[in-house]
Amino acid sequence: MNKTKIPWCDWTWNPLTGCDAISEGCRHCYAEALSKRFGWTWGRSVFHSKRLKELKQAKPGDWVFVCSMGDFFHHTAKRAWQDAVIHEVIQHPELIFLFLTKRADAMRQYWSEYCAGSPYLPPSPRPMPQNVFLGVSAENQNMFDVRVSMLMEIPDVACRFVSVEPMLSHVSLGWQKPDWIIAGPETGPGARIPLQLDYSMDALRGECTCNGIPFFDKREGEQFVRQWPGHWRNAYYNCCHCENGRCVHPDYTKLGDCVQCPLFQKLSAEEYDDV
């Protein structure tokens, strides 16, 4: 278990590692690159039973990203391994666990069977653990439509989130309304950044704002900053009058929008380098 710089969680926890590419978003997979560099197993799941007890390091309220170095729902992940992990998750209701996958069908199948009952985790049936947030990655509209529709079919999930990262083309919510969206461009060597990225990110952010969906803007990758210095938009969420992307300042109707707001101007000038 490791403290992480990923801005939307506090820890990464890897009781299962390993995966293989499933779609375009995998082309520059950092987990694969790291595994190959250090000679770790890649292409199939590996279970690290000793890591199950690492959760003691976290403090109440921390957010734990499960399996940042693979996919918990990879087809080679044995059901008994997955259940052992979920058993630990249930023992720690004071923590939030985030599961992010590109295998939405396998995730839907797992939780359906979990709720119905499992030979490894009595009793059954059982409710969805409310400290579990389920997410899917979607790099383009097709993947968004397919994976998010499967995510939305899983009942009683405390938070359904979508990581539109790397954003490789325009993505719109359409009819689907998850609870939280993270989005950002591809970063690192060979990053594929679509010409209309700035427009697509703003459009998706606007859709989220209109629907009351929190939007986590990750436009601070090196290439983005170089090409689109407008990443100050991230500062919206640093403003004390911002609630989930909506301005709740009592004078909002006079202010018009964040760019006109004197509070925002001050904050964006002062904190430009920190957002």
Sketch the per residue contact string, 53 through 72, with ligand SF4: x for CB under 6 A, - otherwise: -----------------xx-
Strands 11-13 and 2-3 come out as antiparallel
Distance CA 179, CA 172 (A): 15
**DSSP result, 17-78:** EB----SGGGTT-HHHHHHHHHT---SS-EE-GGGGGGGGGS-TT-EEEE-TTB-TT-TTS-
Q: Is the distance from CB of 81 to CB of 44 less than 8 angstroms?
A: no
- 22 contacts ligand SF4 (rule: CB under 6 A): yes
Query: Which one, of 132, 213, 133, 135, lies nearest residue 172 by Cα?
Result: 213
Q: Which stretch binds ligand SF4 (CB under 6 A): 26-34, 125-133, 191-199, 255-263?
A: 26-34
Q: Whose Cβ is closer to ligand SF4: residue 21's or residue 225's?
A: 21
- 102 contacts ligand SF4 (rule: CB under 6 A): yes
Q: Whose Cβ is closer to ligand SF4: residue 18's or residue 245's?
A: 18
Q: Whose Cβ is closer to ligand SF4: residue 101's or residue 268's?
A: 101
Distance CA 29, CA 31 (A): 5
Sketch the per residue contact string, 69 through 98, with ligand SF4: x for CB under 6 A, - otherwise: -xx---------------------------
Single-letter amino acid code for the residue at 44:
R
Q: In whole angstroms, how close is the CB of 71 to ligand SF4 at the nearest point?
A: 5
Q: Which stretch binds ligand SF4 (CB under 6 A): 24-32, 188-196, 200-208, 260-268?
A: 24-32
Interaction residues for ligand SF4, span 27-46 (CB under 6 A): 29, 31-32
What backbone phi and psi angles, to 5 degrees, belong to 156?
Answer: 60, 35
Single-letter amino acid code for the residue at 26:
C
Q: Which of residues 16, 19, 132, 136 is near ligand SF4 by CB under 6 A? A: 19
| Residues in touch with ligand SF4 (CB under 6 A) | 19-22, 26, 29, 31-32, 70-71, 102
